[in-house]
Structure 1
Amino acid sequence: MIEIIPCINDAMLMETATLADAIWHEYFCSLLTPDQIDYMVARFQSPEAMIRQVDQEHYGYWQVRQDGQLIGYIGLQFQKDRLFLSKLYLRKESRGQGIASGMLQMVYDTGRDYGYDRVWLTCNKHNRHSLDVYAAKGFVQIGEDVTDIGQGYVMDDYFLERVI
């Protein structure tokens, strides 16, 4: 049984950040250097970063649990005119089972519940698998950018959007 549960306290965000660290080091090892992964996790997915995002930057996080076990998470930022899908990740052993499709449906439903008609995201230009998945789910490329994130690192991303 899959449950998607909002993170309602700092303890849940800390648990989610621990999972984020594990997933990012497993998933992005073929796209980014270990040092860049460490830097990005510390900057964007550490407990402190997640708490700040929720408290100050209009974010919400949700845990994805299968039979009670934490297997993934979603991060959304509630922006002025559209919903930003910041994070959608699953443990390696939970991929390929249709769980991400259910996670995306929750994102669309949440967006509609909050009055949005579009959801957008950024995706690494070299992350071919994710780009293909998002295209199959109806996302279209609306832009691209190379963003300096400090310490000599950049995010080289496409911007994707989908009407919900």
Structure 2
Amino acid sequence: MRIVIFTLLGSMLLSCSGDLRLAAAGAASDDAAPGYVVSGNRVELGSLEGGELSLKKMVSGDLNNDGVPDRAVVLVNNSSGSGVLYYLNVFLGTDSDGWQFVAEEFLGDRIVLQEMSIYGEGSVSAITGVPIHSDDYGQLMLAYYTYKVDQAFSEKPALFLTRHWKFEAGDLQRLENY
């Protein structure tokens, strides 16, 4: 059963085309944006039904090549049960200093985040130390450990993943064969 659930949730990518626009005014100083999305529902940092939602990491860079900084965040839902669920939220910056939510993806349960970057001019891979090629500018990269299909959650996660996303045709797309 765990295999099926992980496969379904691990591949979930939700996207909005302008439906959720967030103004920067009123955001708490530790927030990357004034609102987030978890499992398709708008939420805020702090107490969440069934747990506590916190901001694990935030990076800025230009994802859609418009010259306006964008943001990607990793959120952690530390549930009142045994799960510690990680989510990616991506926001495009707007000309009016606001943020437009564009995508959410479930990353996994009890992952160990190693690195998160939005590649741009002068970027160097934190994993290999090699300069990033200009063709890869605008890519969002996450590197983390997660659990193998047959691995118990009582062990340290042993599967190292790097995932890349890029805006193509106005949508955030995960690059599969990278």
- TM-score between both structures, scaled by the size of structure 1: 0.32
Q: Greater strand percent: which structure?
A: 2
Q: Greater helix percent: which structure?
A: 1
- TM-score between both structures, scaled by the size of structure 2: 0.30
